[in-house]
C-alpha cells in the first residue's frame, strides 16, 4: 500500500486549474484535506502558498503537498500531467520547508502573529522613505536604514521577491536567511546580509507616524506597523513533494546561472 493512499485534490479557481481538476475527478477516491495523507494542488505558486497557509491555519500536523503547475511560473510546482500520478507519488523526492514566525505590532498596539513561507517585507506607505532600525539577536546592527523597505526571506523564498530586490539566492538546506533592503537610500551601498536561520530579527519603524510602514507576510498585509519580529518556526515544518527530475533544491541552485 502506498504511503500516500488517502489523497485530497484542491485546485485554484482559474479555468485551467478547474479543467485539470475535472480531468482528475475519477483518478482517485479523493478525501477531505483534513483526512488526507497527501494533497494534490493544482494551480500556480500563489495557490501553493494559499494551500500551505491553510494547513498552518488549521493547527494540525501539515501533510505533504504535491503541486502541479496550472499557473504562470510554477517554481514550487511540478509539471502538469493527467496520467501516471500513482507512479509519480511512489518516486517523489520530499523537501522540508520551515516557515517564519512573524509577530507584527501595529502603531495602535495590536499584535498580529502570522507565518511566512517565502518572506516578510516591510514597505513604505507614502512618498516618504521609511526609516527602519534593525536588531539581530538583541543587538542593534543598523540604527537607521532609509529605504523603500526591507525583507527577510527563507531559502524557499529567496528566488521570489528577494531575488527581484537583488538579494542572494540561498540553497535549500543552507540554514540561512536573507536580509535584503529594497531601494536603500542611506546607507546607499548596503546590499543586505546573510544570517544564520537561528537569528532573531527585529525591525522597528522610526517615526512611524510621519513615515508609515506596512508589513506583508507572504500574502497577508498589516498596515501602520511599529515593529516586526521574525524567527524560524521549526515546530511547523512543511513538506513539498517533487518529481526527482524537477527537484526544488536543484531548481534553486540553477537559478544562480540564469542570466
Check whether 28 is labelled as a binding-site residue: no
Structural domain range at position 171: 100-235
Together in a domain, 137 and 87: no
* Phi, psi angle pair for 50, to nearest 5°: -60, -40
Together in a domain, 92 and 72: yes
What one-character-per-residue DSSP string does 24-54 give? TTTSS----GGG-SEEEEEE-HHHHHHHHHH
Check whether 153 is labelled as a binding-site residue: no
Check whether 4 is labelled as a binding-site residue: no
First vs last Cα of the chain: how many Å apart?
A: 45
The pLDDT value recorded for residue 1 is: 46
Q: What does pLDDT average to over the chain?
A: 95
Which residues of the chain are modeled with pLDDT < 70?
A: 1-2, 59
CA-to-CA dists, residue 151 to 21, 49, 134, angstroms: 35, 18, 11
What CATH number has the domain bearing residue 164?
Answer: 2.60.200.30
Domain assignment present for 11: yes
The pLDDT value recorded for residue 151 is: 98
Check whether 156 is labelled as a binding-site residue: yes
Together in a domain, 107 and 169: yes
User: Which candidate in 26, 32, 37, 45 is catalytic?
Assistant: 45
The pLDDT value recorded for residue 60 is: 75
* Bridge-based pairing state of the strands 149-153 and 220-222: unpaired
Together in a domain, 143 and 182: yes
Check whether 148 is labelled as a binding-site residue: yes
Q: Is 32 one of the annotated active-site residues of the chain?
A: no
Domain assignment present for 82: yes
Question: How many CB atoms within 10 Å of residue 166?
Answer: 12
The pLDDT value recorded for residue 59 is: 65
Closest C-alpha among 164, 160, 137, 169 to residue 148: 164
Together in a domain, 104 and 209: yes
Amino acid at each position: 500500500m502506498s504511503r500516500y493512499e488517502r489523497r485530497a485534490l484542491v485546485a485554484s479557481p482559474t479555468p485551467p486549474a478547474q479543467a485539470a481538476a475535472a480531468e482528475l475527478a475519477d483518478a482517485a477516491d479523493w478525501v477531505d484535506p483534513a483526512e488526507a495523507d497527501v494533497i494534490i494542488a493544482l494551480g500556480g505558486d500563489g495557490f501553493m502558498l494559499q494551500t500551505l497557509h491553510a494547513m498552518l491555519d488549521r493547527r494540525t500536523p501539515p501533510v505533504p503537498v504535491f503541486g502541479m503547475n496550472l499557473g504562470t511560473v510554477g517554481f514550487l510546482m511540478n509539471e502538469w500531467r493527467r496520467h501516471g500520478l500513482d507512479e509519480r507519488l511512489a518516486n517523489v523526492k520530499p523537501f522540508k520547508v520551515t516557515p517564519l514566525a512573524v509577530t507584527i505590532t501595529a502603531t495602535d498596539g495590536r499584535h498580529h502573529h502570522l507565518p511566512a513561507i517565502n518572506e516578510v517585507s516591510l514597505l513604505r506607505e507614502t512618498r516618504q522613505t521609511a526609516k527602519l532600525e534593525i536588531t539581530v539577536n538583541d543587538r542593534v546592527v543598523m540604527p537607521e536604514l532609509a529605504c523603500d523597505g526591507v525583507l527577510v526571506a527563507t531559502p524557499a523564498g529567496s528566488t521570489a521577491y528577494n531575488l527581484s530586490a537583488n538579494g542572494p539566492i540561498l540553497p535549500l538546506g543552507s540554514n540561512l536567511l536573507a536580509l535584503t533592503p529594497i531601494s536603500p537610500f542611506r546607507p546607499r551601498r548596503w546590499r543586505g546580509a546573510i544570517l544564520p536561520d537561528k537569528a532573531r530579527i527585529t525591525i522597528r519603524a522610526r517615526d512611524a507616524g510621519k513615515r508609515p510602514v506596512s508589513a506583508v507576510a507572504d500574502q497577508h498585509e498589516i498596515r501602520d506597523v511599529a515593529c516586526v519580529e521574525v524567527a524560524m518556526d521549526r515546530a511547523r515544518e512543511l513538506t513539498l513533494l517533487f518529481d526527482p527530475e524537477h527537484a526544488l533544491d536543484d531548481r534553486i541552485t540553477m537559478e544562480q546561472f540564469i542570466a
